[in-house]
């Protein structure tokens, strides 16, 4: 593989907060523009615009999980949390089903790899969280392009 293969997981909450925040800002501006002489309209418009700005800023701060595979390493990034694994240590993978999907990686012997926790807790985890909108077929095609087989067809068997 000469170029890195990259998959950015979609984050639905980010888009909802951004569009809702911008809609509230526009509604607040429209409320003030409708009748700028009345104090109730001005107060309501300012409150709506502030709430919309808070929602929009929070939406911009949400970081999407990114999976990237290059010649030397597999990389998972979600905000400040970065996991780097040498590519030759990965034997197989599996996608955990559920409301929020996760990616589990196994070593060449088929044992699950352990990762430090996302929030600096003491425990470690055996999977990397993706998002609920992540299509398992996209993850499977990404891993196939990277050359990592699914768990049921591990390199050891």
Provide the number of structural domains found in the chain: 2
Residues 134 and 86 in one domain: yes
What pLDDT sits at residue 61?
A: 92
Q: Summarize pLDDT for 64-117 with one digit per residue, the tens.
A: 889 888 878 888 888 888 888 888 888 888 888 777 788 888 888 888 888 877
Overall average pLDDT of the 7-22 stretch: 90
Residues 87 and 105 grouped into a single domain: yes
Assess contact for 130 and 118: CB atoms under 8 A: no
For 24-69, how does the pLDDT look when each residue is reduced to its tens digit (9 = 90+)? 999 999 999 988 888 999 999 999 999 999 999 999 998 888 988 8
* pLDDT reported for residue 1: 52
Identify whether 45 is part of a domain: yes
Q: What is the mean pLDDT of the chain?
A: 85
Measured between alpha carbons, how far is 72 from 4 in angstroms, rounded to an integer? 10
Separation between Cα atoms, residue 68 and residue 63, nearest integer Å:
15
Q: In what order do the strands lie in the sheet with 66-69?
A: 5-8, 66-69, 73-78, 81-86
CA atoms within 13 A of residue 124's CA, in its CB half-sphere: 8
Whether residue 83 is found in the same domain as residue 30 = no
Q: Domain containing 111: what range?
A: 64-153
Q: Is 44 found in the same domain as 109?
A: no
Q: Is residue 114 part of a domain?
A: yes
């Amino acid at each position: 593989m000469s170029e890195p293969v990259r998959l950015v997981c979609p984050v639905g909450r980010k888009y909802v907060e951004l569009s809702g925040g911008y809609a509230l800002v526009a509604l607040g501006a429209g409320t003030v523009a409708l009748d700028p002489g009345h104090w109730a309209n001005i107060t309501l418009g300012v409150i709506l615009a502030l709430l919309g700005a808070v929602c929009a800023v929070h939406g911009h701060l949400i970081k999407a999980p990114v999976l990237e595979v290059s010649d030397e390493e597999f990389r998972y990034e979600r905000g400040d949390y970065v996991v780097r694994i040498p590519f030759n240590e990965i034997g197989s993978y599996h996608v955990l089903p559920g409301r929020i999907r996760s990616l589990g990686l196994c070593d060449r012997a088929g044992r699950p790899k352990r990762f430090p926790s996302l929030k600096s807790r003491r425990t470690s985890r055996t999977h990397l969280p993706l998002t609920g909108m992540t299509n398992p077929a996209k993850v499977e095609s990404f891993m196939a392009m990277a050359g990592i087989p699914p768990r049921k067809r591990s390199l050891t068997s």
